[in-house]
């Protein structure tokens, strides 16, 4: 008899929450610290905060790049974990490290070789572009020195989560964020006899925290010896056919994620061109607070990937079909809860960003309310993508999602920017309404069940 229930039982959601909540808490702690960072930098004025924000866009692209690599390797790592295949897990982890280190090359070029040229693309038309760029370049040159540490740490942390060990990254994150907060306080304004370094102090604090984070992860791996860990001299011992398959999956996921990142970067540049430093700082402040409830995305993605990946890797395809429905239904409920939480965060605006200009504060508050309203839709869409990728169907994101972004959303944004006098908030609202179309397209795509595959068995049989 076919199980047509929309929701699973308490045991199922208990398992999902046991994976999602530690990740959400970890990201919440990180984002709270980021909010504190923004609070400290905001005290330096609109220009300084704007400079850190445009540099942060570059760091955002790099982090998404790394996250995409870890996500692609994680598709296989979770399934090999479900199949209890440590050799396969090592291959997936090896892929993450090699691809992650390759991503460090463009990061170097942007941070050290061409920082001003790249950052200038983010403030085209802004009336205070030169002053903002001075702050942004100063910040990003220092942030380069945390790139390698962050790359290795993300590979280890994501792999721990892929195997269900979600609490370790949480504890490591707490330690790193506390260190980051302390050195932000000490170095931005010059406490405890340390020099007052402004935005440079914020950058140095991040470098110190990321370095500490990597040291902790190395100690954890040496002590616990998780099944995916490899020794340095084993890095090049790749299984070529499997590595090739992972590269293909990574390319498809990268196509989707990078199209989205490019669209976010272009839209941010368009928003920033609709005024002065108050627009840049106001929008940045709004996203800084919105990040407090955006933590639900990472938690739901991880829970979906681990649960479905393990079930598919164990060959339980019919069970995976039921779990997919339960996860999608649960995402709507969580979306409504996070919407209410998002509205409550507007109370933080005058507390955290009270030293910004009145125009920037108004923009920030409205931005928070608008993003919160989209949460149920975005969480459902987020789980749809995670379902597809858990079974290796990366084409949904690469084709359906990227197509809508590149050929519908971006032209719409540019047309609205060129032929209307809409402010940044109205532009944002118009382009995000297209996510309704994405959800419908994803629903139709998932009904074809291309995601319902045991990649662990297929990879084993192909070798």
Which runs of consecutive H residues, i.e. helices, occur in 163-294? Answer: 167-189, 199-224, 240-272, 277-290
Q: Do residues 163 and 77 make contact, with C-beta atoms less than 8 angstroms apart?
A: yes
Tell me which residue of 414, 389, 390, 413 sits closest to 401, measured CA to CA: 389
- Res. 4 pLDDT band, cuts 50 70 90: low
The pTM (predicted TM-score) of the whole model is: 0.72
For residues 218 and 423, the model is more confident at 218
User: What per-residue confidence (pLDDT) applies to 236?
Assistant: 82
User: What per-residue confidence (pLDDT) applies to 170?
Assistant: 87
What does the alpha-carbon distance between residue 73 and residue 62 come to, in Å, rounded to a whole number? 17
Tell me which residue of 81, 116, 71, 1 sits closest to 302, measured CA to CA: 71
Q: pLDDT by residue (tens digit) across 198-232? A: 888 888 998 999 999 999 999 999 999 999 999 88
């Amino acid at each position: 008899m076919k199980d047509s229930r929309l929701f699973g039982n308490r045991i199922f959601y208990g398992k999902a929450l046991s994976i999602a909540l530690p990740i959400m808490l970890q990201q919440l702690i990180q984002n709270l610290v980021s909010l504190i960072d923004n609070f400290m930098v905001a005290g330096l004025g609109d220009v300084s905060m704007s400079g850190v924000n445009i540099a942060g866009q570059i760091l955002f692209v790099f982090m998404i790049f790394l996250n995409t690599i870890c996500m692609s390797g994680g598709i296989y790592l979770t399934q090999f974990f479900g199949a209890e295949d440590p050799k396969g897990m090592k291959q997936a982890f090896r892929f993450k490290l090699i691809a992650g280190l390759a991503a460090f090359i463009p990061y170097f070029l942007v941070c050290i070789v061409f920082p001003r040229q790249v950052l200038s693309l983010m403030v085209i038309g802004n009336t205070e572009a030169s002053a903002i760029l001075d702050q942004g370049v100063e910040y990003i040159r220092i942030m380069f020195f945390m790139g390698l540490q962050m790359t290795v740490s993300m590979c280890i942390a994501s792999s721990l989560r892929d195997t269900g060990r979600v609490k370790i990254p949480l504890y490591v994150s707490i330690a790193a964020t506390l260190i980051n907060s302390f050195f932000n306080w000490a170095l931005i304004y010059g406490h405890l006899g340390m020099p007052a370094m402004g935005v440079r102090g914020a950058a140095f604090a991040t470098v110190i925290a990321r370095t500490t984070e990597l040291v902790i992860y190395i100690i954890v791996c040496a002590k616990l010896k998780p099944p995916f860990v490899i020794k340095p001299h084993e890095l090049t011992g790749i299984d070529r056919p499997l590595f090739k398959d992972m590269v293909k999956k990574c390319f498809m996921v990268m196509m989707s994620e990078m199209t989205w990142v490019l669209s976010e970067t272009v839209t941010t540049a368009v928003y920033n061109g609709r005024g002065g430093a108050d627009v840049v700082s106001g929008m940045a402040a709004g996203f800084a607070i919105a990040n407090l409830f955006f933590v639900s995305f990472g938690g739901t993605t991880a829970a979906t990937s681990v649960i479905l990946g393990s079930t598919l890797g164990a060959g339980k395809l019919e069970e995976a079909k039921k779990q997919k429905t339960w996860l999608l239904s649960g995402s709507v409920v969580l979306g409504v809860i996070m919407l209410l939480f998002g509205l409550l965060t507007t109370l933080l605006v005058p507390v955290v960003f009270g030293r910004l200009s009145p125009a920037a504060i108004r923009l920030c508050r409205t931005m928070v309310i608008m993003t919160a309203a989209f949460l149920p839709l975005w969480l459902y869409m987020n789980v749809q993508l995670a379902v597809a990728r858990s079974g290796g169907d990366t084409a949904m994101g690469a084709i359906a999602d990227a197509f809508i972004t590149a050929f519908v959303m971006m032209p719409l944004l540019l047309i609205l920017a060129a032929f209307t006098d809409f402010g940044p908030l109205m532009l944002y609202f118009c382009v995000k309404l297209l996510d309704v179309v994405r959800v419908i397209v994803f629903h139709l795509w998932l009904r074809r069940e291309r995601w319902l595959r045991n990649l662990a068995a297929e990879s084993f049989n192909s070798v």
